[in-house]
Amino acid sequence: MSEPLLAPNFLFRFSIPCLVTARNWSATGLELDANHRLPCFGELEARAPFADLRAAWNAQGLYFTVRVEGKKQPAWCRESRLDDSDGLQLWIDTRDTHNIHRASRFCHRFVFLPAGGGRMLDEPFADQLLIHRARENAKPIRPGDLEVRREKRIDGYFLECHIPVKALTGFNPVDHPRLGFTYAVVDRELGWQTLSLGSEFRFQEDPSLWGTLELVE
């Protein structure tokens, strides 16, 4: 059978619920139950997921956890090469605008790594990245604004992540309860797991290719 000329996921714009949580971030993180799990629509194109990604929100910001399993090699992470490092990358548009092809100041890109930080490069690390070809960049965050906690596992890792309101330009769940959203769990050993389209599409810089995250109670 010949390959389709157009990826099936390209024909759809996916919208998924993000449930509220009454808990706030603490030194022990914020583990989320199965009701907060986000789908991987790459399965529609026979791309098997290797990560369990979950999300929640409240007045303090957005929370994500990711569990990566099936690894035989340590995660490859470098603070100096964030684009190439193993970890979780998130794209968030606080205005859920899908008719633009270049990011606005409401569009954000964050990266959370299980290692790569600290003197020995063995501490979890989080940062903000610029979006290529953006018309206007989101306001820069201060060091330490993003919070991340890691647990090492025999065959992978578990990350807990917090994006506070101060790091999200225009975050207003009352007036704007829908966020433009996509993600990529990047792994040199296992490949890419994404919300929908694969890395052959330039979703990293084109908000019209993102899905929607609905902030629901």
The pLDDT score that the predictor gives to residue 6 is 55
Over residues 31-55, the pLDDT tens digits come to 899 999 998 876 556 667 899 999 9
The pLDDT score that the predictor gives to residue 48 is 79
> Is the pLDDT confidence value at 82 over 70?
yes
Count of other CB atoms within 10 angstroms of residue 163: 27
pLDDT above 90 covers a percentage of the chain that reads 72
Long-range contacts of 28-37 (CB under 8 A, 24+ apart): 28/149, 29/65, 29/149, 29/160, 30/56, 30/63, 30/65, 30/160, 30/162, 31/65, 31/160, 32/56, 32/63, 32/65, 36/65
Tokens in use for 51?
A: 């990560």
> In the chain, how many domains are there?
1
CA distance 53 to 66: 4
Quick check: is 155 in a domain? no
Quick check: is 104 in a domain? yes
Site of tokens 């890792």? 157
- The residue among 151, 82, 84 whose CA lies nearest residue 114 is 151
Q: What is the mean pLDDT of residues 192-205?
A: 82
Quick check: is 5 in a domain? no
Confidence of residue 2 (pLDDT cuts 50, 70, 90): very low
Vertex 181: Cα angle to 210 and 96 (nearest 5): 80
Quick check: is 145 in a domain? no
The answer for 156, left when phi > 0, alpha when psi is -120 to 50, beta otherwise, is left
Please, are residues 184 and 194 in contact by the beta-carbon 8 Å criterion? yes
Which range has highest mean pLDDT (35-49, 127-141, 184-198)? 127-141
CA distance 209 to 37: 21
Quick check: is 149 in a domain? no
- Where residue 190 sits, what CATH number does that domain have? 2.60.40.1190
Confidence of residue 119 (pLDDT cuts 50, 70, 90): confident
Range of 43's domain?
13-21+31-139+163-171+179-216
Please, are residues 126 and 167 in contact by the beta-carbon 8 Å criterion? no
Quick check: is 151 in a domain? no
Residue scoring higher pLDDT (201 or 187)? 187
CA distance 215 to 30: 18
Quick check: is 26 in a domain? no
